[in-house]
Homo-oligomer: A and B are copies of this chain.
Amino acid sequence: MLENGEIIDLAFEEILCEAGDRVDHVYFPINGFISMVAPLDGDVALEVGLVGDEGMVGIALVLGVEVSPLRALVQGAGRALRVDAAAFRRVLAESPTLQQALHRYTYVLMSQLAQTAACTRFHLVEERLARWLLMTQDRAHADVFHITHQFLGYMLGVRRVGITKAATALQNRELIHYTRGDITVLDRVGLKQAACECYLADRNVYEKYLG
């Protein structure tokens, strides 16, 4: 696949693909990570999946559709392998191994979608925030990453103030620390306890089928 693509830089908040748009490229994150966002009418949206170096942006092409159902938004700046849609289709058609791997990844992503749907409905903001931080930490491969409360609110589908409140609570419990968008995970174990079961559920599915 490498010879068919190029290594590019992903800029924070860059939109790789809008929901409903043609998929011109697929992306395999190397050290960046990307939010898959379901937008609704009227500028509201909800993050329904997170893609790091375990996955790929542009799953629609694997399913033979050339339009993305979701918005792909760069959450963590970094590098990725970008492959042209036509080239990707060609390589995919010739490699049953790649097909199989991406089928499995599609399955994992679907599981994540479903889990997130239920999680968003039933769990508290603070639990969901803890889950988000853990998922992000896994994909950032670092204890520190950058994101403002405003942006987090957008991801979790809550007000900025809702994040501030939840984040303050987590900080008071000394699980995280943040200043002006720089978030540090201080106590990963404690954060897992603060998170809902969904983090582990996702992780189990991931390890079972991609690990």
Residues of A within 8 A of B (CB): 36, 38-41, 44-46, 48, 59-60, 62-65, 69-70, 100, 103-104, 106-107, 109-111, 113-122, 157, 197-198, 205, 209
Closest CB of chain B to A21's CB: distance in Å? Answer: 14
Interface secondary structure of A, over-half rule: helix
Partner of A118, one of B48, B59, B114: B48
Copy number of this protein in the oligomer? 2
A41 touches B107 (CB 8 A): no
Instruction: Compute how far the CA of A111 lies from the CA of B63 in the bound complex, rounded to whole angstroms.
Output: 12
Q: What are some 28 contacts across the A-B interface (CB < 8 A)?
A: A38-B115, A39-B118, A40-B119, A40-B122, A40-B197, A45-B118, A46-B117, A46-B118, A46-B121, A48-B113, A48-B117, A59-B110, A62-B103, A64-B107, A65-B209, A69-B114, A69-B205, A70-B114, A106-B110, A109-B110, A110-B113, A113-B114, A117-B117, A117-B120, A120-B120, A120-B121, A121-B121, A121-B157
Q: Which residues in B have their C-beta under 8 angstroms from that of A69?
A: 107, 110-111, 114, 205
